[in-house]
Amino acid sequence: MSEAALSAVPLYRHVDRVARGLAAQGIGPGAAIPPEALFGLDQWHYHGIDAIAAAARFLGLGRDSRVIDIGSGVGGPARFLAHTTGCHVTAIELQRDLHEVAVDLTRRSGLAARVEHVCGDALAVELPPRAFDAAIGFLAIVHIPNRPRLLRRLHAALKPGGGLYIEDLAERAPFSPADRQALLTYVHGVSVTTIDAYAADLRAAGFGDVVATDLTPDWMPFAAERLAAWRADRAAIAARQGEGAWAAQEEFYAAIDRLYRGGSLGGVRLTARAA
């Protein structure tokens, strides 16, 4: 699967929806951005900033912490962590257009001294050994084909005792060929496995204290409500973000909702410590 396939999935089309969403709040191109103005636009995972705040608590982040964010998107989680805890984040994002939006948003949010954006493949970018206190990955590792290699790299980059906090999709019951195709088409989900297989990859990479939590009972209704709200608010969202952006995300939300309802798709949180 190529980077082109990744950028073609609905969530990553119409990235200008962020700028349009800011403009709807009276924040034009280049203007300073109060962090709160972005919270509804730059958190591309479940439960927005609440999920990131929970990660910060688990990881015990503070001003001296150095964090890696794998698949950082337009930088929402990285900025929220830096803004609320004062930590330093290295935010790694493969897609150049998302990376460039992230750099711009971070500068305009006044967080450039604490969030460093790196454009590259998390499987290949240089990560200094034993340099980081924590690593996070929110709905990103699902896209990365060689998960064992990624986890070994993260383990090597963390200081001994460093924390890992992942939220991701999982295979709850065996995917049918149609499910697999839908995962590829709508999510670019190339590494969706059972929760047990995910936890085993962490242990094989050297992590200890691995705790896996099935989030499906929470995420399934979240996805259904997200889709219903998106459809109900169509006119207002399309006016703010554009009709194309509304339609692309509706396609994505509907596909995810179908997969949950079919019983095969699930969600998982994994926490662990580098041994």
Q: Which residues bind ligand SAM (CB under 6 A)?
A: 6, 43-45, 71-73, 76-77, 92-95, 98, 121-123, 138-140, 143-144
| Phi, psi torsion values for 119, nearest 5 degrees | -95, 115
Pick 2 or 29: Cβ nearer ligand SAM: 2
Pick 128 or 208: Cβ nearer ligand SAM: 128
Which residue bears the tokens 């999510």?
A: 187
Cβ burial 68-97 (10 Å sphere, 16+ → b, else e): bbbbbbbbbbbbbbbbebebbbbbbbbbee
Pick 122 or 164: Cβ nearer ligand SAM: 122
Nearest-approach distance from CB 136 to ligand SAM, in angstroms: 8
Pick 97 or 275: Cβ nearer ligand SAM: 97
Which H/E stretch holds residue 167?
strand 158-171
Question: CA-to-CA distance for 253 and 251, rounded, in angstroms?
Answer: 6
Nearest-approach distance from CB 126 to ligand SAM, in angstroms: 13
Distances (CA, A) of 154 to 124, 164, 256: 11, 9, 28
Which H/E stretch holds residue 136?
strand 132-138
Pick 184 or 239: Cβ nearer ligand SAM: 184
Nearest-approach distance from CB 122 to ligand SAM, in angstroms: 4
Distances (CA, A) of 59 to 54, 67, 169: 9, 10, 21
Nearest-approach distance from CB 45 to ligand SAM, in angstroms: 4
Pick 154 or 199: Cβ nearer ligand SAM: 154
- Residue 31 tokens read as 């203007």
Pairing of strands 66-70, 88-93: parallel
Nearest-approach distance from CB 235 to ligand SAM, in angstroms: 26
Pick 6 or 156: Cβ nearer ligand SAM: 6
Pick 1 or 112: Cβ nearer ligand SAM: 1
| Phi, psi torsion values for 246, nearest 5 degrees | -60, -50
Kindly write down the DSSP assignment for every residue of 4-42, as one continuous string: HHHHTSGGGS-TTHHHHHHHTTT--TT----GGGGTTTS
Nearest-approach distance from CB 232 to ligand SAM, in angstroms: 23
Nearest-approach distance from CB 44 to ligand SAM, in angstroms: 4
Question: CA-to-CA distance for 93 and 89, rounded, in angstroms?
Answer: 12
Nearest-approach distance from CB 114 to ligand SAM, in angstroms: 17
